């Protein structure tokens, strides 16, 4: 995890710089594809995914080393073609894993966060899951295991494969000629993120679009059908942690209220969106009609609140970078507690921007807890001795947050956790 944390120290700033460049480009060309809170929500979602990975919260059900040990029939020689074959295997696995996420109810819960934005931009690429806590995707790497691709090679190529998917989350690049026939492009991925009926569940490939063309999921972007972004059941929140479990909560509600025991047991594995007939009739849920103008989620917030949101995101990002840059200084328990504090901070400030009635008191409590976290003797001794910069930054941040909340006053919104 320490190596992964060090890699992220380079990758995170690079991605943020590219997002800023895209925002600047949109501003100066008059084709802005970002809105403040949507972008902050996307960036915050990326932080939750990073924390999940660096803190080791995923429970591995099937590991690639296990498959390699039991299925390998040969071992490829370490040549350029060897790495190409391995990369193709990873991309093939990504296609089928992605297809599963779109097609099965329970798996959609861990992917909906990536599609939840009603905008489409580079920040959306960072809307990655916090709820995929079971590690089973190695199953899709069985072809690589049979070919004897070493674990080390998968470990090197998998992050590169993931990072290679960032660039095409943009509306500023048109079709790319001959590349459209074998590579995933921005045009193709705009289709993938769209909820227009003709575009739903299309273009599932990550790098090579040949999988979509071969397996019947390819759809070209049409000039007469501009993409409409988001999900059919709008999430109506900026809080990435709520988004991560919203679909699961809806399934739990359906399983509880349905009178059919068959549905109670099977709705999880049914096609995405399936609901028991008796529950769907009694408790209807509004879906977007793409044939009429769509009102995007955009609760009204003041200029001061926008400044508050930016301040919170910047400080929380710095806390995350402190964790990544000093990961080896933390024990597993200390890293877990510190990471939990960051998660609670993301939950709190995004909820306040949603206007939840309880969010002001939650934020006040969260910042008092953060302040206490740094001043209790056992904690302060550790941070002053090992990470003094982090210690003083934490004190200043949480103190200013408490003062700022008093200036904001209680934000009495209209949302509730069950809303949407």
Neighbours of 22 (CB within 10 A): 21
What Cα–Cα distance (Å) separates residue 342 from each residue in 51, 322, 345?
9, 11, 5
The token duo for 377 is 């003797």
The answer, yes or no, to whether residue 415 has pLDDT greater than 60, is: no
Where in the chain are the domains? 2-215, 303-408
With 0-12 / 13-18 / 19 or more C-beta atoms within 10 angstroms meaning exposed / middle / buried, residue 385 is: exposed
Dihedrals phi, psi of 183, to nearest 5 degrees: -115, 150
Q: How confident is the model at residue 254 (pLDDT cuts 50, 70, 90)?
A: very high
Question: pLDDT tens digits, residue range 212-251?
Answer: 999 999 999 999 999 999 999 999 999 999 999 999 999 9
Closest Cα to residue 401, out of 366, 373, 358? 366
- Residue 60: in which H helix or E strand, if any? strand 59-60
Between CA 15 and CA 394 the distance in angstroms is: 25
- Mean pLDDT of the residues in the chain: 92
Q: Which of 173-177, 269-273, 404-408 has the lowest mean pLDDT?
A: 404-408
Q: What angle do CA 355, 301, 50 make, to 5 degrees?
A: 65
Which pLDDT does position 1 carry in this prediction?
A: 63
The alpha carbons of the chain give a radius of gyration, in whole angstroms, of: 22
> What confidence score (pLDDT) does residue 413 get?
44
CA atoms within a 13 Å half-sphere pointing along the CA-CB vector of 3: 3
> What's the average model confidence in pLDDT over 21-38?
97
Q: How far does Cα 357 stand from its chain's mean position?
A: 25
Looking at residue 180, its pLDDT comes to: 97
Q: Is a pLDDT exceeding 60 seen at residue 420?
A: no
Mean pLDDT of the region 17-22: 98
Residue 391 pLDDT more than 50? yes
Kindly report the three-state secondary structure assignment for every residue of 293-357: CCCCCCCCCCHHHHHHHHHHHHHHHHHHHHHHHCHHHCCHHHHHHHHHHHHHHHHHHHHHHHCCC
Pick the range with the lowest mean pLDDT from 35-44, 340-349, 407-416: 407-416
Q: Give the model's pLDDT for residue 417.
A: 42
List 208's β-bridge partners, or say none: 183
Lowest mean pLDDT among 162-176, 189-203, 241-255, 288-302: 288-302
Report how far residue 33's alpha carbon sits from residue 39's, in angstroms, rounded to the nearest whole number. Answer: 10
pLDDT of residue 212: 98
Report helix, strand or coil for 134: strand
- Read off the pTM: 0.92
């Amino acid at each position: 995890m320490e190596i992964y944390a060090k890699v992220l120290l380079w990758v995170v700033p690079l991605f943020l710089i590219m997002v800023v460049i895209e925002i600047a480009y949109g501003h100066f060309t008059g084709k802005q594809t970002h809105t403040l809170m949507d972008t902050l929500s996307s960036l915050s979602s990326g932080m939750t995914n990073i924390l999940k990975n660096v803190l080791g919260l995923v429970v591995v059900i099937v590991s690639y080393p296990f498959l390699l040990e039991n299925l390998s029939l040969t071992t490829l020689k370490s040549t350029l073609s060897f790495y190409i074959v391995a990369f193709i295997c990873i991309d093939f696995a990504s296609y089928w894993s992605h297809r599963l996420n779109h097609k099965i109810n329970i798996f959609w819960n861990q992917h909906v966060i990536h599609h939840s934005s009603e905008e489409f931009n580079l920040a959306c690429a960072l809307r990655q899951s916090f709820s995929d806590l079971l590690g089973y995707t190695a199953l899709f790497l069985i072809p690589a295991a049979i070919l004897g691709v070493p674990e080390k090679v998968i470990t090197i190529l998998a992050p590169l494969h993931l990072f290679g998917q960032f660039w095409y989350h943009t509306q500023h690049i048109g079709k790319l000629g001959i590349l459209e026939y074998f590579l995933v492009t921005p045009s193709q991925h705009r289709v993938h993120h769209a909820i227009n009926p003709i575009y739903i569940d299309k273009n599932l490939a990550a790098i090579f679009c040949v999988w979509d063309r071969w397996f019947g999921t390819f759809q070209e972007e049409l000039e007469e059908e501009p993409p409409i972004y988001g999900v059919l059941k709008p999430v109506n929140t900026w809080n990435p942690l709520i988004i991560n479990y919203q679909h699961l909560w809806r399934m739990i509600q359906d399983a509880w209220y349905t009178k059919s025991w068959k549905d109670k047991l099977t709705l999880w594995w049914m096609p995405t969106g399936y609901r028991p007939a008796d529950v769907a009739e009694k408790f209807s849920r509004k879906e977007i009609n793409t044939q009429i103008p769509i009102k995007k989620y955009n609760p009204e917030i003041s200029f001061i609140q926008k400044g508050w949101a930016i301040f919170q995101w910047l400080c929380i990002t710095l806390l995350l970078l402190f964790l990544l840059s000093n990961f080896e200084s933390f024990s597993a328990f200390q890293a877990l507690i510190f990471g939990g504090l960051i998660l609670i901070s993301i939950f709190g400030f995004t909820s306040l921007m949603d206007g939840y009635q309880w969010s002001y008191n939650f934020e006040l409590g969260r910042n008092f807890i953060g302040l206490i976290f740094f001043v209790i003797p056992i904690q302060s001794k550790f941070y002053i001795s090992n990470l003094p910069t982090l210690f003083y930054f934490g004190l200043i941040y949480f103190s200013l947050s408490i003062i700022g909340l008093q200036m904001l006053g209680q934000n009495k919104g209209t949302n509730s956790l069950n809303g949407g």
